[in-house]
Amino acid sequence: MTAAAGPVARGRFITLEGGEGAGKSTQLALLARFLEGAGVPLLRTREPGGSTGAEAIRTLILTGAVDRWDARTEALLVAAARRDHVERTIRPALEQGTWVLCDRFFDSTMAYQGIAGGVDPAAITWLRGFATDGLTPDLTILLDLPVEIGIARTAARADGRQRFELREPAFHERLRQAFQAIAAAEPARCRLLDAREGVDALAAAISALVATRFDLPPA
């Protein structure tokens, strides 16, 4: 007689955060390669976006003139996109035992619309709970980069610059300070890494961090 299968272990939820030009998308792809090599069932996703409805909202948020939306409107749009993303993509994957790697999550809302954008952080925190029902990453990796380097990187992109990349340097400086403050406030969840490191060195540091945190074989 075959024994009944036990409950599926919940997948791990890892987010990458940082200012413009920090290299999140590149590092997420490299971390995904490491995890897949370790045999981890994996889903890669992003915010805003990650579900059909959220991708439609992403277009609204990231395109158009810099002043298309004020920060409060942006926060509401992001919260709507996040709700759809969590319910249709992230939570089902985690419940099936799949690990989720996400390029941005609620820390970006606190940084962009809250601390840097001027929306009351208490309102951002309320929206976070309303959209996610308390879903929190197991690990958040924040990539820290001097503003002038990030601006230079985004200016060199062949696909053009998005609304937030066109904001004034003072906004990006507030943004960097916001992510640093988030990392300092939640050291158990967040790790701040220097994004001035070369791509391979930074990827090795991230893989080592994840392997140690979740008891995986080293890269």
Determine the 3-state secondary structure of 140 from DSSP: strand
- How many CA atoms within 13 Å lie on the side-chain side of 172? 21
pLDDT category at 5 given cuts 50, 70, 90 is low
Q: Is 134 annotated as a binding residue?
A: no
pLDDT tens column, 29-47:
999 999 999 999 999 999 9
Tell me the residue type at 18.
G
Determine the 3-state secondary structure of 13 from DSSP: strand
In this predicted structure, what is the pLDDT of residue 159?
60
- The predicted model gives 84-109 an average pLDDT of 98
Q: Which residue has the tokens 């003072």?
A: 170
Determine the 3-state secondary structure of 10 from DSSP: coil
* Integer Cα distance of 194 and 192 in angstroms: 7
- The predicted model gives 127-132 an average pLDDT of 97
Full strand arrangement of the beta sheet holding 190-194: 42-46, 99-103, 13-18, 139-144, 190-194
* Integer Cα distance of 92 and 49 in angstroms: 16
pLDDT tens column, 110-123:
999 999 999 999 99
In this predicted structure, what is the pLDDT of residue 2?
47
pLDDT tens column, 158-206:
565 676 777 788 999 999 999 999 999 999 999 999 999 899 999 999 9
The CATH T-level fold of domain 13-214 is Rossmann fold (3.40.50)
1 pLDDT exceeds 50?
Answer: no
Average of per-residue pLDDT values in the chain:
92
Cα→Cα distances 140→1, 55, 57, 63, Å: 44, 22, 24, 27
In this predicted structure, what is the pLDDT of residue 155?
76
Q: Is 87 annotated as a binding residue?
A: no
211 pLDDT exceeds 70?
Answer: yes
* Integer Cα distance of 5 and 125 in angstroms: 39
Cα→Cα distances 196→36, 61, 143, 149, 218, Å: 26, 28, 9, 9, 23
Q: Is 20 annotated as a binding residue?
A: yes
In this predicted structure, what is the pLDDT of residue 38?
95
In this predicted structure, what is the pLDDT of residue 161?
60
Q: Is 18 annotated as a binding residue?
A: yes
